[in-house]
Amino acid sequence: MYYFTKEIIQKSIKLNGSIDETDLFGNKGEYIHYPGKRAKNQPCIKCGNLIQAKSILGSTSYFCTKCQKI
């Protein structure tokens, strides 16, 4: 888990942040979340299973029940 967290944060920093946010100068980032905010009930790109959404500590997480366990 730590490895992937570190990898995702490094990738996001390299791409100047998330595509749905801007920096202090109004520049959009290029990092695209997968699964993103509209992923619920969309097919997983790895196995085709429908993506589920779950509220965890006030934030919604999106995941594939076959590929990832929370």
Determine phi and psi for 13, rounding to 5 degrees.
Answer: -65, -45
Helix (H), strand (E) counts: the chain: 1, 2
Q: How many CB atoms lie within 10 A of CB 68?
A: 14
Q: Determine the interface stretch with Zn ion among 5-13, 14-22, 26-34, 59-67 (rule: CB under 5 A).
A: 59-67
Instruction: Give the up-direction half-sphere exposure of residue 38: CA atoms within 13 A in the CB hemisphere.
Output: 2
Q: Does 49 bind Zn ion (CB under 5 A)?
A: yes
- Write down the least CB distance from residue 43 to Zn ion, Å: 8
Q: Does 51 bind Zn ion (CB under 5 A)?
A: no
Nearer to Zn ion, 10 or 60 (CB): 60
Q: Could you list the residues that contact Zn ion (CB under 5 A)?
A: 44, 46-47, 49, 64, 66-67
